Amino acid sequence: MQNLFHLAFPVKDLEESRRFYGEILGCEEGRSSECWIDFNLFGHQIVAHLAPEASGVRTTNDVDADHVPVPHFGIVLPPEDFHKLAERLKSKGVEFVIEPKVRFQGEVGEQATMFFLDPSGNALEFKSFADFSHVFAK
């Protein structure tokens, strides 16, 4: 069995989160209670915890001429899956903080990336590398 990543994050409203992660991102829902919901995010466990005062972006950092929201989380996808997800998000009317684009073009670490917010203001980044061996390249 492969290792799985687990992330717990704060949300303002569980029903909004259920709709966004389930219907928009297509995450299968796991266990839940009145204060949290487990989701399967591309094979990894993320847990939306009801904590309205703690959710949302706190700041940004400049990365390759973009103002990248901090904190953020997401998944590195194969190129085909990245483009399918970008089209799905566009078709669902998701507003991008950073539109799908290629960053560090022609350099080591070239990657496709996109940023958007969930309904609680949490930033998500999905990215893709044509060559996965470049994910940690210097």
pLDDT for res 57? 83
The residue ranking higher by pLDDT, 33 or 138, is 33
Q: Read off the pLDDT of each residue in 38-48 and give the average, rounded to a whole number.
A: 97
Contact (Cβ atoms closer than 8 angstroms) between residue 46 and residue 39: yes
pLDDT in tens, 17-40: 999 999 999 999 999 999 999 999
pLDDT for res 134? 87
> Is the domain covering 6-54 a CATH 3.40.190.10 domain?
no
Residue 107 has pLDDT above 90, yes or no: no
pLDDT for res 68? 93
Q: Where in the chain is the domain with CATH 3.10.180.10?
A: 6-54, 59-134
Residue 90 has pLDDT above 90, yes or no: yes
**CA gap 82, 90 in Å, rounded:** 12
Q: How far is CA 40 from the centre of its chain?
A: 12
* Residue 78 preceded by cis peptide, ω within 30: no
pLDDT for res 64? 85
pLDDT for res 65? 85
Residue 108 burial by CB count (10 A; 0-12/13-18/19+): exposed, middle or buried? exposed
DSSP-assigned beta bridge partners for residue 66:
63
**CA gap 13, 1 in Å, rounded:** 33
What topology does CATH give the domain 59-134? 2,3-Dihydroxybiphenyl 1,2-Dioxygenase; domain 1 (3.10.180)
Q: Read off the pLDDT of each residue in 65-76 and give the average, rounded to a whole number.
A: 93
**CA gap 24, 39 in Å, rounded:** 13
Q: Read off the pLDDT of each residue in 65-91 and give the average, rounded to a whole number.
A: 95
Contact (Cβ atoms closer than 8 angstroms) between residue 136 and residue 28: no
